[in-house]
Structure 1
């Protein structure tokens, strides 16, 4: 037994932990959990915990249903909101086949595989997400059929004693208690909309943290009688919720994106990484914007990046190079603004990092940056400048992914097929749905 496993077992005993929750995700990023008795944890470390993979979306067929959960002891944390009947903890798991091999269906393994590729190229990858979400009075719509936000405040507004202020304070405290460092938090532009930014960590830890973050937000909201939603676009006339993520590559202690001689302090490696993101952006949108509702955010304005472009400090661009600390080498990074708050972080980060690495490996050329608001340009101006549109619907995204050898190779055959099958079904369900919009527009006039 290794030292981390021994630490977990001693902590369980010393802290009187009564339940150990084993966490993992399905293909679309839904958090799955099974509670393990403390006496069974040591066996789970050595033998894994068996479960029915055919009951998890995108995992296996009934004829191949046996799978194993292998707890990752480095992810052990006490859940600070479950202490009334003894402590509860959680560990993320890797999913294995019965013979102990990594399961092709495991999103966490997909990201591990890409990070191994980065390591073989001499890079370690760090990510820093800015996560937006809405705090609502309930998960049910109000009398007018619309969600009910907890306040009507706006960007950076200070609301003394307000639900959102209390919520962010309690949520940040719980995140810090779990060892998840927060950079800052604030009210966002929409009513009841909040943003909490996590500090940079290696990409796998960040993905685990994003899943934990969502669970914490929903837990704190429920304790206050409210509801936290990561739906990309819950309001037609207010901004959607994104998960803008900053990426940086390091070679040892050196930031591979930094070049002090460049006008914007961006190295050739950084430029090639961005070029990779741009070239494959439409192919990966089925993961970075994975729901029908995601495209309402993408094409709904409010700085959502609907066109493939990049720029320095330009918030209308898909990829932005921030200039907060231009002469500090360690802070050199790029920001990908296409992710929405509902994305599966394991698959999204795997595809985006793999796209950047492909740009480096194959020496992609970076086009000129955009300095204008991309949305304010005419269609002809965007075409001349090479700002191609992102997919307009989930159907378009599925079609683009189906044609992509890149996406298939990164996700692996199992995840690729399962994801597209799930998304085709979602589109089929959506396209036959009669919406309130159609009833309002057509019922009384036709």
Structure 2
């Protein structure tokens, strides 16, 4: 139940900010943002009921992955702590006086029940992340997540797929891209940390970061141009709990896309938008803390290698053991596996290390002796994932490692991509023996789904059966549909065969 104090606090904000409209946000199963809008008076007429029952209903059968047409009535309950004012300069186009709008993220409930008795919808992605936090609490833990969200901004992106499929092409325009004819340009894989004026996205990222802080309550830690040569950026925010960190990823995507649109640009979070350049990742930093003592359980100052505790090593062991199955959730698109290839700083090897970015788990090693900084970085996820499901799945895998005391193999401190074939074969044997898995991540979404279907029991203390089955069904359909399309490059390669 939401406290009266929380309700009154939000009501006062709505009144003091002269909010006319309430925009309710949630994501579908794949992770795409959905919304519906109500007059603020609907909330203000009975705020206690709004925040403890619902603000309105919707058709769940029209939302990807939710439910079927004969059981489609669903309810939205806004979450007070997610209240935010949408910036005036991009919510009201010139000449439109629509009134000020505020945003809430919502929890989703089944309809058809008596007032106050509706159960949570089993396939509400946020509910899965909430279950992860509850399960952690039962074990005496709380988890923190710090995702590094990468994205790409283009001046123009044109996709031309004409019926009856006689034309298939993508045209990307970006001033300063490697293929641009007007200097200065940013070369492939050389976009990391360039100074102005070469960093042509600086002021847009600066505005994005400012909006995140000033309107949505973020604590931005850094923003910069990323490695890819054509408009790649990254914005990092302070770590938070699984649910709140996922809320922030959803919000960050929303803000990035809207500010890009404000300047006539387009933003994408797809993992591999450009061949021959680095893709967009979502390296995810995480740690476990003791609820009672508020101590970082990943920290051990007596560990000479990385100041990492035995519990943290078991957590690593769980992620490594289930990494191939996890890929079906944290790398959930066919584009994901075009990013996970050698040569572009995207890790494909099931190994861990400190400071070694060729392993899927890195232990950041910038400065020693700082308890709050002790964490692991899981590097293979990308921003096409549903963050609620991704963080929940990471928790499930890590806790399985702790529960079963899964000891990871020794850390690998050399570049695995450049490793001698004989040594790599030896490493493959070690991974097989200790973790009963392969050294390399799946090379396709279909392969990842095969892994998840054969290795998923560890999910179920947190995931619902309904969510798991729907995820498999949706992603299998992705594989079937997208694999059936002839690709323009296939014409280039095979036309004269």
Q: Deviations over 1:144-183 (max 9, x none)?
A: 8442234343110012386401111111111111211110
Q: Aligned to 1:250, which of 281, 285, 289?
A: 289
Q: Deviations over 1:106-155 (max 9, x none)?
A: 11111111111111111111111111111111131699844223434311
364-373 or 81-90, which moves further after superposition?
81-90
Partner-residue secondary structure (3-state), 1:255: coil
RMSD: 1.8
User: Is the 1:239–1:300 contact (alpha carbons within 8 Å) kept by the matching residues of 2?
Assistant: no
Name the structure 2 match of 1:193: 232
Partner-residue secondary structure (3-state), 1:185: strand
Equivalences, count: 445
> Matches of residues 292-441 of structure 1 in structure 2 within 5 Å?
292-378=334-420, 380-386=422-428, 388-406=439-457, 409=460, 410-441=462-493
TM-score, scaled to structure 1: 0.96
The structure-2 alpha-carbon separation of the partners of 1:58 and 1:145, relative to structure 1 and needing over 3 Å to count, comes to: closer
Structure 1 stretches (4+) deviating beyond 6 angstroms? none
Q: CA deviation at 1:51?
A: 1.1
Name the structure 1 match of 2:53: 47
Distance 2:98 2:198 in 1: 31
Q: CA deviation at 1:382?
A: 2.6
Distance 1:101 1:71 in 2: 15
Partner-residue secondary structure (3-state), 2:326: helix
Q: CA deviation at 1:336?
A: 0.4
User: Is the 2:319–2:394 contact (alpha carbons within 8 Å) kept by the matching residues of 1?
Assistant: yes
Name the structure 2 match of 1:28: 30
* Pair 1:231 & 2:270 matched: yes
User: Is the 1:146–1:235 contact (alpha carbons within 8 Å) kept by the matching residues of 2?
Assistant: no
Distance 1:140 1:198 in 2: 31
The structure-2 alpha-carbon separation of the partners of 1:33 and 1:150, relative to structure 1 and needing over 3 Å to count, comes to: farther
Q: CA deviation at 1:45?
A: 2.0
Name the structure 2 match of 1:56: 63
Partner-residue secondary structure (3-state), 2:303: coil
Partner-residue secondary structure (3-state), 2:103: strand
Which of the pair has more CA radius of gyration? 2
Distance 2:86 2:232 in 1: 25
369-378 or 324-333, which moves further after superposition?
369-378
Q: Which runs of 5+ in 2 are unaligned?
A: 161-167, 177-184, 432-438
* Pair 1:86 & 2:99 matched: yes
Q: Aligned to 2:204, which of 167, 171, 174?
A: 167
Q: Deviations over 1:48-69 (max 9, x none)?
A: 1211111111111112111111
209-218 or 6-15, which moves further after superposition?
6-15
380-389 or 251-260, which moves further after superposition?
380-389
